[in-house]
């Protein structure tokens, strides 16, 4: 029996959604399991980071004070990020690529070693795991070194790289959840707005960066999650070079590249700014020629040792359908897609920046401090926002910010759930009324 | 130990749907998307409903009729939403078929359509279990448990997990029945679903009486099993019909 199209539609969307889900799930778990220990330790030492330079929130302040303070904090943070991004653009413009890469490696090392280390320490303390310091140090060191190697070097299996991207996201997000409540919300909203401006407005730093990178046909010097298919999923594949393929029709390459994590050692806080960018390389194979299975072996620019097998799956069709549902539109779109040679150093699959991972998880983690119900609501909202962004991405063919839709939905759902739904559900469920 | 209890409650409510998800849904990305969107739809319906009822909360917990009214409006609203879901699905099905033609793949099989409806139903069921049982489970991970006055024999978490399991079953399979009924234009199937949903909702009203949960839970499971059998028979009928028509042609 021939396989139905159900198995091939939406693979790419799931490929992006599943790591995001894993990241959020682990952050929630961390926040949940570590929070009982916090009431004793953390309130006395509020952490001072770049995100609350101006105003240090204390629970006793009045609402207006908190609001003003958190808005100021968010403003300062966004300005900082904007400055750093412009700096990045300037450095990239003058071809300091190696410097940037090394800086990224350094910051990855720092994040994994210090912030990750302190999280591991608190896990060890909380569950009282019997580990001696030397073993712990060795393990941490190995973990960190492999992580740093996997960020920009070749020869590392993509799955490991993806795993490290997710764990970087988890670590930074867990740190961000330690920010006070009002500041977190203001920060999230401000970042979503900043993301929107930076990616879409003419002259926005992220837009410049992405255009620069695509004009040079180069890799962005940033920490980016690549949702490339890791293994051939189709039947009849023999490990190596051949993939019994899924046919391929006008599958559009969308790259949502995201921006880096920018670490500031002095403040002991990694700030990452999200950006999603542009479809650098679009590939399409006309649907006429697509009866046969297509095997694309991408000669990756990172020159992996093992040949990377990339199966093209249909993602855009679903997207087209859901987005427009319009035959004519589909046709024109297909015509518009540029066909560039399949050979060049292109990578395939959607890319999502680490910043998006981080801030999605921060939202969910903040929701986890209130109740489980808000966690589920926020998770669903964020995932559906991500889905909408991906659909828009295939419609618009350009760099899109991944934060605004998701964060807006997430925040709205959080407050709706908290204010409206919780009394309703608790009221009915504790009377054992259900429907 | 308490963590074990909490996980146990969660698995009691969601175990069957988890295995359904792993065995059927997770292999097909499109079905995962269907589950997610139907869960979101249910969540939105819950938020809208709670927005409508927010002004009247908290309800007087000694009289039962406001709760009856609440259940009735909620179920009516959700059944209306099911119709909407069907409309959307209908358009999606056409698009999927058009797309399948374009890439010279077979059109949707009947089993595919059933799987989509199953995924839609599973989304509804999971959303129910998550919001009515799982989200209240947080205290269950702690060192104590909680009893409701009216059902003092069983811990509240256990009762809600058991009830949630019944509702997951009802929601999951009634979606299959409903979509089939709409597709075939079968009035019987179309009516069966709202009636079952309403009956299940009203049975939980029995919980209002002191010790009522002893009566209502078996009744609820009777309804769930009825739905299951009805769905099974219907699917079997469709499959055999399908095979015989295929054999003839």
pLDDT in tens, A356-409: 888 899 899 888 888 888 899 999 999 999 888 888 887 877 778 888 888 999
In the residue annotation, A356 being an active-site residue is answered as: yes
Q: Give the Cβ contact number of residue B185 at 10 Å.
A: 8
Of residues A118 and A57, which shows the higher confidence score? A118
Q: Give domain status of residue A165, yes or no.
A: yes
Q: Which residue of B has its CA nearest to A13?
A: B29
Question: Residue A376 sits in which domain range?
Answer: 5-36+51-230+348-431
> pLDDT tens across A50-96, in order?
666 666 666 677 778 888 888 888 888 888 888 888 888 888 888 77
Q: Give domain status of residue A426, yes or no.
A: yes
Among A335, A315, A334, which residue's Cα sits nearest to residue A390?
A315
Count how many domains chain A has.
Answer: 1
Whether the CB-CB separation of B204 and B71 falls below 8 Å is answered with yes
Burial of A92 (0-12, 13-18, 19+ CB in 10 A): buried
In this prediction, residue A297 carries a pLDDT of 33
Among B15, B70, B105, B39, which residue's Cα sits nearest to residue A382?
B39
Rounded distance between C-alpha atoms, residue A253 and residue A230, angstroms: 16
User: Nearest CB to A380: which of B43, B57, B78?
Assistant: B43
Residue given tokens 């450095």 in the structure block? A91
In this structure, what DSSP letter does residue A345 have?
A: S
In this prediction, residue B123 carries a pLDDT of 92
> pLDDT tens across A240-284, in order?
222 223 333 333 333 333 333 333 333 333 333 333 333 333 333
How would residue A237 be classed by pLDDT, with cut points 50, 70 and 90? very low
Q: Give domain status of residue B249, yes or no.
A: no
Of residues B152 and A346, which shows the higher confidence score? B152
In this prediction, residue A339 carries a pLDDT of 28
In this prediction, residue A49 carries a pLDDT of 65
| CA distance from start to end of chain A | 40
Report the pLDDT averaged over residues B191-210.
Answer: 86
In this prediction, residue A324 carries a pLDDT of 34
Mean pLDDT of the residues in chain B: 86
Rounded distance between C-alpha atoms, residue B37 and residue B125, angstroms: 13
Query: Is 50 exceeded by the pLDDT of residue B101?
Result: yes
B40·A371 Cβ contact <8 A: no
Q: Give domain status of residue A179, yes or no.
A: yes
Q: Give domain status of residue B124, yes or no.
A: yes
Shortest distance between the Cα of B241 and any Cα of chain A, in A, equals 19
Q: Considering only CB atoms, which chain B residues are within 8 Å of A22?
A: none
In this prediction, residue A337 carries a pLDDT of 31
In angstroms and rounded to an integer, the radius of gyration of the C-alpha atoms of chain B is 20
A434·B164 Cβ contact <8 A: yes
Report the pLDDT averaged over residues A197-215.
Answer: 80
In this prediction, residue B223 carries a pLDDT of 92
In this prediction, residue A59 carries a pLDDT of 67
Mean pLDDT of the residues in chain A: 68
Q: Give the Cβ contact number of residue B184 at 10 Å.
A: 13
Query: Is 80 exceeded by the pLDDT of residue A31?
Result: yes
A434·B132 Cβ contact <8 A: yes
Per DSSP bridges, beta strands A269-272 and A261-264 are: antiparallel
Among A330, A313, A314, A328, which residue's Cα sits nearest to residue A395?
A330
Q: Give the Cβ contact number of residue A11 at 10 Å.
A: 22
Q: What is the DSSP track for A194-243?
A: HHHHHHHSTT-HHHHHHHHHHHHT---SS-EEEE---S--STT--SSS--
Whether the CB-CB separation of B121 and B172 falls below 8 Å is answered with yes
Residue in A424, A425, A427, A431 to test binding to B, most B beta-carbons within 10 Å:
A424
Rounded distance between C-alpha atoms, residue A330 and residue B103, angstroms: 13
Per-range mean pLDDT, top range of A408-412, B101-105, B143-147 = A408-412
Whether the CB-CB separation of B17 and B119 falls below 8 Å is answered with no
Q: Which helix (H) or strand (E) holds A15?
A: helix A11-34
Cα distances from B44 to residues B51, B77, B154, in angstroms, run 10, 11, 31
> pLDDT tens across A120-179, in order?
888 888 888 888 889 999 999 998 988 888 877 767 788 888 888 888 889 988 888 888
Q: Give the Cβ contact number of residue A434 at 10 Å.
A: 25
Q: Is B152 on the interface with A (CB under 8 A)?
A: no
In angstroms and rounded to an integer, the radius of gyration of the C-alpha atoms of chain A is 22
Whether the CB-CB separation of A208 and A89 falls below 8 Å is answered with yes
A428·B46 Cβ contact <8 A: no
How would residue A313 be classed by pLDDT, with cut points 50, 70 and 90? very low
Long-range contacts of A98-107 (CB under 8 A, 24+ apart): A100/A221, A101/A152, A101/A221, A104/A151, A104/A152, A104/A221, A104/A222, A104/A223, A104/A260, A104/A261, A105/A148, A105/A151, A105/A152, A106/A263, A107/A260, A107/A261, A107/A262, A107/A263, A107/A270
Residue in A2, A4, A376 to test binding to B, most B beta-carbons within 10 Å:
A4
Q: Which residue of A has its CA nearest to B147?
A: A430
Among B28, B29, B72, which residue's Cα sits nearest to residue B52?
B72
Count how many domains chain B has.
Answer: 1
Cβ pairs bridging A and B (under 8 Å) = 178
Rounded distance between C-alpha atoms, residue B231 and residue B78, angstroms: 20
Q: What is the ipTM of this complex?
A: 0.88
> Which has the minimum average pLDDT: A207-216, A288-297, A343-352?
A288-297
Q: Is A29 on the interface with B (CB under 8 A)?
A: no
Per DSSP bridges, beta strands A350-353 and A308-310 are: unpaired
Q: Give domain status of residue A259, yes or no.
A: no
Q: Considering only CB atoms, which chain B residues are within 8 Å of A7?
A: 27-30
Among A190, A327, A230, which residue's Cα sits nearest to residue A11?
A230
Rounded (10°) angle between helices A63-93 and A181-200: 40
> pLDDT tens across B8-37, in order?
888 998 999 999 999 988 888 888 888 999
Q: Which residue of B has its CA nearest to A32?
A: B138
> Which residue in A195, A248, A300, A347 is the catalytic one?
A195
How would residue A97 be classed by pLDDT, with cut points 50, 70 and 90? confident
Shortest distance between the Cα of A157 and any Cα of chain B, in A, equals 23
Q: Considering only CB atoms, which chain B residues are within 8 Å of A383?
A: 36
Question: What's the distance, CA B95 to chain centroid?
Answer: 26
What is the CB-side half-sphere exposure of residue A197 using CA atoms within 13 A? 12
Q: Is A158 on the interface with B (CB under 8 A)?
A: no
Q: Give domain status of residue A205, yes or no.
A: yes
Q: Give domain status of residue A162, yes or no.
A: yes
Cα distances from A378 to residues B18, B166, B194, in angstroms, run 21, 26, 29
How would residue B113 be classed by pLDDT, with cut points 50, 70 and 90? confident
Of residues A379 and A328, which shows the higher confidence score? A379
Q: Is B95 on the interface with A (CB under 8 A)?
A: yes
The per-residue b/e assignment along A143-163, b for 16 or more CB within 10 angstroms, e otherwise, is bbeebbbbbbeeebebeebbb
Evaluate the CA torsion angle B142, B143, B147, B148 in order and state its sign: negative
Question: Residue B69 sits in which domain range?
Answer: 3-54+64-241
């Amino acid at each position: 029996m021939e396989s139905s199209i159900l198995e091939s539609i939406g693979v790419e969307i799931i490929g992006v959604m599943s790591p995001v889900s894993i990241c959020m799930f682990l952050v929630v778990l961390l926040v949940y399991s570590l929070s009982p220990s916090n009431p004793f330790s953390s309130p006395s030492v509020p952490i001072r980071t770049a995100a609350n330079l101006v105003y240090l929130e204390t629970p006793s302040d009045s609402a207006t004070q908190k609001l003003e303070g958190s808005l100021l904090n968010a403003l300062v943070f966004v300005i900082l990020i904007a400055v750093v991004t412009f700096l990045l653009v300037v450095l990239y413009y003058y071809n300091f690529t190696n410097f940037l890469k090394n800086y990224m490696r350094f910051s990855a090392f720092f994040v994994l070693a210090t912030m990750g280390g302190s999280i591991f320490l608190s896990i060890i303390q909380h569950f009282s795991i019997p580990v001696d310091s030397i073993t712990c140090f060795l393990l941490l060191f190995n973990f960190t070194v492999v992580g740093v190697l996997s960020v920009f070097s070749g020869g590392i299996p993509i799955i490991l790289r993806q795993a490290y991207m997710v764990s970087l996201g988890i670590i930074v997000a867990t740190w961000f959840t330690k920010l006070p409540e009002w500041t977190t919300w203001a920060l999230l909203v401000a970042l979503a707005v900043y993301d929107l401006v930076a990616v879409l407005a003419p002259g926005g730093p992220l837009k410049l960066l992405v255009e620069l990178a695509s004009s040079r046909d180069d890799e962005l010097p940033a920490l980016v999650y690549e949702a490339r298919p890791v293994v051939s999923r189709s039947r009849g594949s023999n490990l190596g070079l051949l993939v019994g393929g899924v046919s391929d029709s006008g599958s559009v390459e969308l790259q949502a590249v995201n921006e880096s994590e920018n670490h500031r050692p002095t403040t002991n806080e990694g700030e990452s700014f999200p950006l999603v960018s542009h479809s650098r390389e679009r590939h399409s194979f006309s649907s006429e020629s697509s009866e046969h299975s297509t095997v694309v072996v991408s000669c990756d620019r990172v020159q992996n040792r093992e040949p990377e097998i990339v199966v093209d799956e249909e993602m855009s069709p679903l997207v087209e359908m859901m987005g427009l549902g319009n035959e004519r539109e589909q046709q024109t779109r297909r015509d518009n897609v540029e066909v560039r040679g399949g050979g060049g150093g292109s990578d395939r699959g959607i890319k999502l920046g680490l910043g998006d991972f981080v801030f999605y998880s921060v939202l969910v983690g903040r929701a986890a401090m209130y109740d489980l119900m808000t966690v589920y609501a926020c998770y669903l909202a964020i995932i559906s926002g991500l889905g909408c962004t991906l659909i828009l991405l295939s419609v618009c063919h350009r760099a899109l910010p991944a934060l605004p839709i998701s964060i807006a939905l997430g925040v709205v759902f959080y407050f709706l759930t908290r204010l409206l739904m919780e009394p309703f559900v608790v009221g009915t469920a504790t009377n054992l009324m259900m429907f | 130990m308490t963590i074990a209890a909490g996980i146990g409650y969660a698995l009691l409510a969601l175990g069957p749907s988890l295995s359904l998800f792993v065995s059927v849904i997770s292999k097909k990305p499109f079905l995962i998307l269907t589950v997610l969107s139907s869960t979101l739809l249910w969540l939105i319906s819950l938020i809208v409903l709670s927005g409508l009822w927010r002004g009247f909360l908290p309800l007087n917990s000694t009289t039962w009729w406001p709760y009856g009214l609440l259940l009735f409006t909620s179920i009516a609203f959700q059944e209306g939403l099911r119709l909407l879901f069907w409309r959307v699905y209908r358009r999606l099905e056409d698009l999927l078929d058009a797309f399948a033609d374009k890439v010279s793949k077979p059109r949707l099989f009947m089993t595919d359509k059933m799987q989509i409806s199953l995924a839609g139903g599973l989304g509804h069921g999971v959303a129910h279990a998550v919001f009515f049982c799982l989200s209240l489970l947080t205290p269950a991970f702690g060192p104590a448990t909680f009893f409701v006055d009216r059902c003092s024999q069983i811990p509240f978490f256990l009762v809600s997990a058991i009830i949630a399991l019944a509702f997951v079953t009802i929601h999951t399979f009634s979606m299959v029945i409903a979509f089939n009924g709409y597709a075939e234009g079968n009035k019987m199937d179309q009516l069966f679903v709202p009636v079952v949903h309403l009956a299940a909702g009203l049975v939980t009203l029995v919980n209002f009486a002191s010790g009522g949960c002893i009566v209502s839970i078996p009744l609820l499971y009777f309804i769930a099993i009825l739905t299951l059998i009805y769905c099974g028979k219907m699917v079997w009928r469709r499959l055999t019909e399908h095979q015989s028509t295929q054999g003839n042609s």
